[in-house]
Structure 1
């Protein structure tokens, strides 16, 4: 799978197939209904604080939580004084009836100065934010690679966010194939989720550049 910048385009390629299967959802539209929810956590996700881990408390928004049905979906954020909403890929797995996970969505946010994403990273736990009343996007159509013998998953930088949702769902454990994750980062200081891959039943390959211009 090859993940590109939002709105993301996912390419799924079984090694045994000659053709490339593509799942490219249409760009999401801004929602007409919004909800207000508090931030549960805002903290750096990398050593250089270029990426932030943001957790949204949805304990009072059961319908919004339930609308997350597939890894690779997005949630719109509308931040104060921002000229446009931003769409963030959900990093936590879709909720399941048997799960005891907290009623929250996790996000990996790239902090770009002067942008709405930076404003989000500057907020504190307990601050209220406006988000879409439902998630958007179809998510990854993993059923299209059900017959694949091997699956290669590629991500760079903050693009690991929806991939984390995928690998923490039942995709890796239930898939009867070999799953390899290739994660590209500029350097180890910019690697998110450094702890958490060891116990996964996948082949993890870290790619990083020795060139400062990458």
Structure 2
């Protein structure tokens, strides 16, 4: 499943919509399509309260669904990284998997980050307006198993990696009760092709103030860019700080190759695999 709407890229994290098989989602999408098909879902109709561009090139949209009349669905969302199916009322388009971008602490609405993929349900959603009805399936998945790096298993250092719309599930984590300000070092490596398609830039300062060091990584920047370049995994490995494997936690949401390469490198460094978290 994929970019946190779900994508055709190989991995849930990147949950964006795609016409290709459900990463950013492949292996995951296949499993969820078997375990939670649209034919068995219970659908809750709800109006949109916001549809607006999330990036300067309008390739990604903020979508907010008003759940004030559906409190049971709102409160069923309990962990960052959970997701659901969404379909358009009255449309025959296939339901799309989307990661919830708002934190569970926000009641009465679900927020999503939707990549506008031509010919997809995602594109139709991006073309809707305030007041239009969509239908939501039940909240699914267990989310990020944060308990593995909290409490008795607490770590001092957390590396967070996101690519594309995978940042939506990461946003839900950062803005939840996850105690970033109690960690010695929390770093978010967020990859996109360029700044024009990088969402949530207006949130970076707030995230930094909560204790998260944000490291944007651009694979195709313009000549004015002086930050990290290339793919997220390469940028991290180039600048990787010294770490204590036993007190390091990792959160991943994005392309399959990124997740695999980061996991391989950090496991080789001695980071326990059960402290490398994904949301499926």
Q: 1:142 to 1:102 in 2, by over 3 A?
A: closer
- Cα distance in 2 for partners of 1:81, 1:32 equals 15
Unaligned 5+ segments in structure 1 are: 11-23, 96-100
After TM superposition, the structure 1 = structure 2 runs for residues 42-81 of structure 1, keeping only pairs within 5 Å, are: 42-79=51-88, 80-81=91-92
Deviation per CA, 1:95-134, whole angstroms, max 9, x where unpaired? 2xxxxx56111000000010011011111110011111x2
Which position in structure 1 is the counterpart of 2:129? 124
- Cα distance in 2 for partners of 1:90, 1:172 equals 20
Give the secondary-structure state (helix, strand or coil) at the position aligned to 2:128: coil
TM-score by length of 1: 0.81
Give the secondary-structure state (helix, strand or coil) at the position aligned to 2:206: coil
C-alpha contact (below 8 Å) 2:194/2:221 kept by paired residues: no
C-alpha contact (below 8 Å) 1:90/1:106 kept by paired residues: yes
Unaligned 5+ segments in structure 2 are: 15-27, 223-230, 232-280
1:8 is the counterpart of 2:9: no
| Greater percentage in strand | 1
C-alpha contact (below 8 Å) 1:42/1:54 kept by paired residues: yes
TM-score by length of 2: 0.63
Alpha-carbon RMSD across the aligned residues, in angstroms, is 2.4
C-alpha contact (below 8 Å) 1:52/1:121 kept by paired residues: yes
Which position in structure 1 is the counterpart of 2:206? 199
1:176 is the counterpart of 2:180: no
| Greater percentage in helix | 2
Which position in structure 2 is the counterpart of 1:135? 139
Larger gyration radius, structure 1 or structure 2: 2
Which position in structure 1 is the counterpart of 2:41? 32
Moved over 4 A (4+): none
C-alpha contact (below 8 Å) 2:180/2:186 kept by paired residues: no
Q: Which of 162, 172, 177 is 1:165 aligned to?
A: 172
Q: Which of 109, 113, 117 is 1:108 aligned to?
A: 113
- Cα distance in 2 for partners of 1:172, 1:206 equals 22
Aligned-pair CA distance for 1:197:
1.7
1:145 is the counterpart of 2:149: yes
Which position in structure 2 is the counterpart of 1:14? none
Aligned-pair CA distance for 1:175:
4.5
1:91 is the counterpart of 2:95: no
Tell me the number of residue pairs that the alignment of Structure 1 and Structure 2 aligns.
191
